[in-house]
């Protein structure tokens, strides 16, 4: 049953979508940050749709802009960005949603008035109707960057780094990611949890090679997952679950682990669940995000042998007591170009100049943290990037300038979609004691 709800005060779905993307483009924050506010302004039943549209917009923005550009005689003025985005939203509905064409056009045209630009109604209408008539021809004329909806600079880098894979990478970036869970092995076996999921009506499968990973056939809100509140399970991509395996394989049992950039804490929680380390210190520069780590650990009932501290990991003087760590996890700040399928707004927010800054920050973290690694200890370097300058090239230069470092395994670049996983990079760096350095570096690459 329903009652006549007060319909005043709510923003229309399409207006909210245009406003949110406008805010995104003016660097007002990420989708993850902006969406909850925008959702609070639309009617509750439209919240899921607003989210789907905003993610769709970010995913396909290059293509949408490319189509609208062909249909405009001259570019719109900068102050009419909202009208430009409204036209793109119209094309999004026509191309990527099941909404009927006539409702998509009519409802989108109406928003021009809500933007207080009634003059734009005829223009929006003409652009959308032209698209309906000439869709094939307009799509055929798109450039690679537009067709694949990647900024030109990023596309060029991907083409340079991955001459054979760049197109697949871009296509995978535009897919929706699966929802993968990590079963808390302290509370039960993966098999048992699969049973619980099935009893609750969720079809799911174990991920090969990853003992705690379960992939859901259909994504579900976490509140619907059995035992989520009491810590039976967490949401974590399969690629991120590989970190714990590296750490347990290469670090001695009952040693000390440092997680240098810990938030939101999934990888460190996984290591704690496995019970391999006697002591864990988690650092993050952002106290608010560190609070999320604390919340996660308390949900998973893992607070016992861990300590959290807000600090920039590269500033050793601020946090390090001088006692070396058996294992250091450096999940470094990176371009996020491996997780675009989860965060399509990365394509809109990232600038080419960011890459330089990130590469410098990564190498500074590597150099500082290397000092905290014990002899015969391991530093696991991880990024969710697919760019070589942040990954293989970064590690090659580190090895070249660091005498006592050697790769323990070949580095591993996972491309987005490989085995259903996010794009990720791992390099396990072993610290040799002074006496063994003379034996020379292994030639793994």
Partner 1 sequence: MSLLELAFEHSSEPVVSLLDILYYPDAQLRRNAAVVENVDGTVASLVDQMLETMYAAPGIGLAATQVNVHQRVMVIDVSEENDTPQTFINPEILTAEGEEEMQEGCLSIPGVYETVKRPALIRVAAIDREGNPFEMDADGLLAVCIQHEIDHLNGKLFVDYLSPLKRNRIRKRMEKWIRDGANPDDLPERP
3-class SS at 61? helix
3-state secondary structure 67-133: HHHHHCCCCCCHHHHHHHHHHHHHHHHHHHCCCCHHHHHHHHHHHHHHCCCCCHHHHHHHHHHHHHH
350-389 residues in contact with partner 1 (CB under 8 A) are: 350, 354, 358, 384
Closest distance between partner 1 and the C-beta of residue 249, in Å?
21
Q: Are 349 and 433 in contact (CB under 8 A)?
A: no
Whether 261 is catalytic is no
261-280 residues in contact with partner 1 (CB under 8 A) are: 261, 263-264, 266
Q: Minimal CA–CA distance to 335: which of 146, 164, 148, 161?
A: 161
210-239 residues in contact with partner 1 (CB under 8 A) are: 218-221, 223-224, 226, 235-237
Closest distance between partner 1 and the C-beta of residue 433, in Å?
33
416-445 residues in contact with partner 1 (CB under 8 A) are: 422
Length of the chain: 445
Instruction: Report d(CA 289, CA 266) in Å as an integer.
Output: 12
Closest distance between partner 1 and the C-beta of residue 29, in Å?
6
Closest distance between partner 1 and the C-beta of residue 302, in Å?
17
Element (H, E) at 34: helix 31-41
Q: Minimal CA–CA distance to 22: which of 351, 348, 350?
A: 348
Closest distance between partner 1 and the C-beta of residue 444, in Å?
27
Residue 2 engages partner 1 in binding (rule: CB under 8 A): yes
Within 8 A by CB and 6+ apart from 392, the residues are: 411, 413, 425, 445
Name the H helices within 97-234: 101-114, 120-140, 144-147, 152-161, 166-173, 190-199
Binding track, positions 42-81, relative to partner 1; x by CB under 8 A:
-xxxxxxx-x---x--------------------------
Q: Which of 54, 261, 384, 389 is catalytic?
A: 384
Residue 248 engages partner 1 in binding (rule: CB under 8 A): no
Residue 333 engages partner 1 in binding (rule: CB under 8 A): yes
Which are the catalytic amino acids? 384
Binding interface with partner 1 (CB under 8 A): 1-5, 12-14, 27, 29-30, 32-33, 43-49, 51, 55, 99-100, 102-103, 107, 176-177, 179-180, 196, 199-201, 218-221, 223-224, 226, 235-237, 240, 261, 263-264, 266, 285-286, 289, 331, 333-336, 339, 342-343, 345-346, 349-350, 354, 358, 384, 422
């Amino acid at each position: 049953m329903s009652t006549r709800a007060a319909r005043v005060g709510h923003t229309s779905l399409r207006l909210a979508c245009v406003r949110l993307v406008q805010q995104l483009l003016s660097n007002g924050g990420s989708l993850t940050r902006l969406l909850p506010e925008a959702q609070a302004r639309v009617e509750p039943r439209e919240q899921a749709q607003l989210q789907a549209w905003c993610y769709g917009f970010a995913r396909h923005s290059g293509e949408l802009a490319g189509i609208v550009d062909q249909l405009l005689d001259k570019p719109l003025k900068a102050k009419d960005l909202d009208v430009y985005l409204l036209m793109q939203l119209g094309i999004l509905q026509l191309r990527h949603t099941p909404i009927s064409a006539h409702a998509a056009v009519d409802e989108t045209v109406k928003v021009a008035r809500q933007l207080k630009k009634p003059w734009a109604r005829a223009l929006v209408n003409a652009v959308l109707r032209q698209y309906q008539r000439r869709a094939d021809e307009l799509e055929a004329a798109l450039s690679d960057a537009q067709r694949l909806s990647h900024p030109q600079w990023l596309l060029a880098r991907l083409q340079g780094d991955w001459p054979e894979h760049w197109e697949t990478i871009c296509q995978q970036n535009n897919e929706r990611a699966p929802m993968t869970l990590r079963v808390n092995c302290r509370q039960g076996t993966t098999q048992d949890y699969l049973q619980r999921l099935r009893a609750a009506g969720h079809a799911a499968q174990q991920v090969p090679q990853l003992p705690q990973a379960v992939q859901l056939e259909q994504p579900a809100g976490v509140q619907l997952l059995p035992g989520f509140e009491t810590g039976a399970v967490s949401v974590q991509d399969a690629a991120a679950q590989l970190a714990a395996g590296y750490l347990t394989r290469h670090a001695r049992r009952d040693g000390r682990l440092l997680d240098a950039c810990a938030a939101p804490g999934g990888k460190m929680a996984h290591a704690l669940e496995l019970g391999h380390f006697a002591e864990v210190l988690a650092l993050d520069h952002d106290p608010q995000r560190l609070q999320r780590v604390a919340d996660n650990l308390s949900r998973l009932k893992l607070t016992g042998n861990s300590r959290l501290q807000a600090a920039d990991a590269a500033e050793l003087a601020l946090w390090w007591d001088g006692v070396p760590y058996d294992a250091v996890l450096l999940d470094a700040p990176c371009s996020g170009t491996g997780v675009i399928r989860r965060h399509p707004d990365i394509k809109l927010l990232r600038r080419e100049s960011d890459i330089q800054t990130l590469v410098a920050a990564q190498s500074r973290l590597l150099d500082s943290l290397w000092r905290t690694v014990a002899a015969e200890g391991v530093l696991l370097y991880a990024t969710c990037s697919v760019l070589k300058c942040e990954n293989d090239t970064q590690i090659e230069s580190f090895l070249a300038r660091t005498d006592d470092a050697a790769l323990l395994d070949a580095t591993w670049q996972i491309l987005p979609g490989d085995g259903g996983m996010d794009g990720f990079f791992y390099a396990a760096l072993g610290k040799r004691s002074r006496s063994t350095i003379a034996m020379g570096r292994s030639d793994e690459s």
